């Protein structure tokens, strides 16, 4: 199927009419009609039926459209790359990161990385770990920093740093917090679908502990702020806990038994790595170890 036929098919699917498709492609309506006829002849089936003045996709068109839509996403990447060439930039790095690491550690890593890669333009978004994994699979980004690995075979998971789960709050004992001591205690809980929350709730079940979940949140920094406000102890990763250093009267102590937490760099197997990507991963590892 020729690219021009794919374009008319995609345009008709979007507009629902030949006239609308012609407007999208900046061609005349008769030219659009001819292209659509030729497209249907090339695939050997009808792609649209006329119903009350509109073109309704056939079952064959509905089956074809997801593949065409995926192709259009790839074409968008090609267009962005071409635009970068015209703007004088060598490349754009599409970067994703979980919110917990984006306020302190990622800016620190980027500050050092930028000195060696000032020609690279960054397109940066914060997403949750599962969303980052999905975006990497869909090739919507070249690199993502997440708190859990992806199980998808198209994703490369690289451990960047390893920490642990800790307690943050007023009067947290410095020598550690046994999980049994959380029974009935007010805590700012993490959602069970969260990467750290999932491990935490498994620990609760193993030790038959039921803390008093005064608040449940997805945000580790919000949990620390709520601990500071007196809602209870926050249970977060050791990197997020560094945020507590700026809040008076808060203590940090490890949760026992130890629950390790890792930061992963996620990349697509189908997108070649580069010196810029490798250096950013190395700088992020260094920032997380400080």
What is the spatial distance between Cα 210 and Cα 179, in angstroms, rounded to a whole number? 10
146 vs 271: which has the higher pLDDT: 146
Residue 83 banded pLDDT, cuts 50, 70, 90: low
Last residue of a domain, one of 67, 86, 105: 86
The helix/strand/coil state of 157 is strand
Here the CATH number for the domain that contains residue 147 is: 3.40.190.10
Q: Tell me, yes or no, whether 250 and 174 share the same domain.
A: yes
Same domain, 275 and 154: yes
| Shared-domain flag, residues 31 and 92 | no
Q: Other C-beta atoms within 10 Å of 211: how many? A: 20
Do both 191 and 254 map to the same domain?
A: yes
Q: Which of 31, 54, 86 is the last residue of a domain?
A: 86
pLDDT number for residue 76:
65
User: For residue 50, what pLDDT is reported?
Assistant: 85
* Residue 245 sits in the same domain as residue 209: yes
Total domain count for the chain? 3
Report the alpha-carbon distance of residue 232 to residue 219 in Å, rounded: 15
pTM: 0.68
Residue count of the chain, please give it.
290
DSSP-assigned letter for residue 132: H
Tell me the pLDDT tens digit for each residue of 26-38: 899 999 999 999 9
pLDDT at 256 over 90: yes
pLDDT digits (tens, 9 = 90+) for 100-159: 999 889 999 999 999 999 889 999 999 999 999 999 998 889 999 999 999 998 899 999
Do 267 and 143 fall into the same domain?
yes
Q: Identify whether residues 173 and 31 lie together within a single domain.
A: no
Query: What is the full DSSP assignment across 142-162?
Result: SEEEESS----TTEEEEEEEE
Which CATH number do you get for residue 77? 1.10.10.10
The residue segments making up the domain with residue 177 are 162-261
Domain match, 189 and 115 both:
no
């Amino acid at each position: 199927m020729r690219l021009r036929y794919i374009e008319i098919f995609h345009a008709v699917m979007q507009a629902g009419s030949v006239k609308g498709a012609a407007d999208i492609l900046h061609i005349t309506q008769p030219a659009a009609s001819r292209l659509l006829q030729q497209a249907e002849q090339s695939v050997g089936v009808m792609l649209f039926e006329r119903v009350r003045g509109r073109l309704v996709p056939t079952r064959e068109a509905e089956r074809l459209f997801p593949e065409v839509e995926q192709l259009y996403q790839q074409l968008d990447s090609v267009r962005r790359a071409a635009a970068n060439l015209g703007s004088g930039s060598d490349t754009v790095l599409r970067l994703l990161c979980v919110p917990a690491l984006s306020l302190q550690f990622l800016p620190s890593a980027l500050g050092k990385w930028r000195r060696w890669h000032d020609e690279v333009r960054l397109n940066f978004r914060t997403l949750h770990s599962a969303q980052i994994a999905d975006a990497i699979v869909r090739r919507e980004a070249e690199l993502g920093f997440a708190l859990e690995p992806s199980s998808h075979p198209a994703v490369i998971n690289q451990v960047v740093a390893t920490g642990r789960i800790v307690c943050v709050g007023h009067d947290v004992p410095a020598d550690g917090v046994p999980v049994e001591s959380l029974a009935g205690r007010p805590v700012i809980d993490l959602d069970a679908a969260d990467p750290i929350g999932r491990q935490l709730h498994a620990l609760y079940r193993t030790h038959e502990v039921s803390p008093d979940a005064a608040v449940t949140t997805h945000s580790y920094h919000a949990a620390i702020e709520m601990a500071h406000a007196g809602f209870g102890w926050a249970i977060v990763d050791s990197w997020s806990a560094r945020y507590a250093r700026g809040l008076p009267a808060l203590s940090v102590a490890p949760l026992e038994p130890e629950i390790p937490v890792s930061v992963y760099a996620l990349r697509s197997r189908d997108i070649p790595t580069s010196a810029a990507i490798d250096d950013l991963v190395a700088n992020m590892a260094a920032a997380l170890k400080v």
